């Protein structure tokens, strides 16, 4: 048995998130089934995070223990025949026995995409939030900087989430435009439930002039979900990358 680190890219449209659930198709279950068909036994797969229903991933990390003669680098090619076209294994490497997809992660980066043109774009219909009115990315970027640092993000998690430590450290946060697409990028040591989507909804309220950028520190201090903005829809959100302690970047 060796431990492997597997990197997955998936279109989350059809899935009820990562984690196995009863009566719902999830990414974890789909990949485990594919591995079961490839290896003969169905190994357990541990993901770097739960992602919500409909959320996408450019590089989701998972680990698994398998006994196989297939070289690590060939596993993505072999898995391809058993995976549906909306999930792709993009990398696989041997990891040390104490590597853990979730607990060895130093930080995770999410990107929220907004398609900012008057008319909808069919190519982004499931892949970016369509906002018709022109958004001022400079104001949004300035506001996003208030997320930086170590804070209690209770105001930015779904109400009704369980009791847990709500302090997280945000290492990077910024908004920039690439043509018709606006990207909100945020990297932290962890995220609370719906945290990026509530941050996005709040930045949009600021762009609309409903709230001032200076209100974000006030919201953080209040720690109350009712003072932050609405939860932006899942289909604009991407888990972009996961950085591990072993990595230099």
Binding site for a second copy (CB under 8 A): 9-11, 56, 76-77, 80, 85-91, 117-123, 125, 127
52 is catalytic: yes
CA angle 217, 197, 136 (to 5 degrees): 65
Where in the chain does DSSP place strands (E)? Answer: 2-10, 45-47, 56-66, 87-95, 105-115, 129-130, 149-152, 167-178, 181-188, 237-244
Measured from the CB atom, the residue of 117 and 142 that comes closer to a second copy is 117
Q: CB 111 → a second copy: shortest distance, Å?
A: 13
Q: Which helix H or strand E contains 33, and what residues bound it?
A: helix 27-39
Q: CB 89 → a second copy: shortest distance, Å?
A: 7
Contact between 96 and 45 (Cβ < 8 Å)? no
Measured from the CB atom, the residue of 37 and 210 that comes closer to a second copy is 37
Q: CB 84 → a second copy: shortest distance, Å?
A: 9
Measured from the CB atom, the residue of 62 and 170 that comes closer to a second copy is 62
Measured from the CB atom, the residue of 36 and 120 that comes closer to a second copy is 120
Q: CB 127 → a second copy: shortest distance, Å?
A: 7
Contact between 224 and 159 (Cβ < 8 Å)? no
Q: Which of 52, 65, 67, 224 is catalytic?
A: 52
Q: Enumerate residues 6+ apart whose C-beta is below 8 A from 12.
A: 27, 51, 53, 54, 55, 56, 57, 234
Annotated catalytic residues are 52
């Amino acid at each position: 048995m060796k431990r492997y680190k597997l990197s997955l890219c998936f279109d989350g449209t059809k899935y009820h998130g990562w984690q196995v659930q009863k009566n719902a198709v999830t990414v974890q279950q789909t990949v485990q089934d594919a591995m079961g068909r490839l290896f003969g036994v169905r190994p357990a797969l541990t993901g770097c995070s739960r992602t919500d229903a409909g959320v996408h991933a450019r590089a989701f990390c998972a680990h698994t223990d398998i006994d196989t003669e297939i070289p690590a680098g060939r596993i993505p090619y072999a898995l391809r025949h058993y995976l549906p076209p909306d999930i792709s294994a993009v990398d696989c490497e041997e990891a040390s026995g104490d590597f853990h997809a979730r607990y060895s992660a130093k930080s995770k980066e999410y990107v929220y995409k907004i398609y900012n043109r008057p008319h909808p774009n069919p190519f982004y219909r499931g892949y970016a939030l369509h906002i018709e009115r022109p958004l001022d990315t400079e104001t949004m970027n300035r506001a996003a900087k208030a997320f930086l640092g170590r804070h209690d993000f209770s105001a930015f998690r779904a109400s009704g989430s369980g009791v847990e430590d709500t302090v997280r450290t945000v290492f990077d946060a910024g908004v920039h435009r690439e043509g018709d697409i606006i990207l909100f990028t945020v990297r932290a040591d962890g995220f609370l439930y719906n945290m990026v989507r509530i941050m996005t909804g709040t930045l949009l309220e600021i762009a609309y002039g409903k709230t001032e950028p200076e209100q974000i520190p006030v919201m953080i201090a209040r720690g109350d979900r009712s003072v932050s903005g609405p939860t932006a829809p899942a289909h604009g959100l991407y888990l972009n990358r996961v950085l591990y302690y072993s990595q230099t970047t």
